Amino acid sequence: MEAKVVRWGEDLVVRLSPQAVTQLGLHEGETVEVLPKRQTPDAGAPRTVNGIVVPTLAEMIAEMDRLGPSQRPELVDWGPDVGAEIICDDDDR
């Protein structure tokens, strides 16, 4: 649902259509909380993709730690680095 911010004298007010007021069950004089639509995902709102909540890496690690050591994945030894995988920090390129 969207509402429009408009000027009313020296104030800015949020205008709600009669349908929005009915849908929200609001009454004149009632106090409401307003959150900006352009807030960032880190501002408290969960990140979603196609309506599915997407946890951050930190949240996933915290959940794994909460569940205990049995939830830690096994380490995988992929063998020695080969070809383009080799990183040489001394290379001046």
Q: What is the pLDDT along the chain (93 residues), one digit of tens a residue?
A: 778 889 999 999 988 888 888 888 898 888 888 776 665 555 667 778 887 888 888 888 899 999 998 888 888 888 877 777 666 666 665
pLDDT (0 to 100) of residue 43: 60
Torsion of CA 59, 75, 73, 68, to 10 degrees: -80
Residue reference for tokens 């890496």 = 57
Taking the alpha carbons at both ends of the chain, their separation in whole angstroms is 54
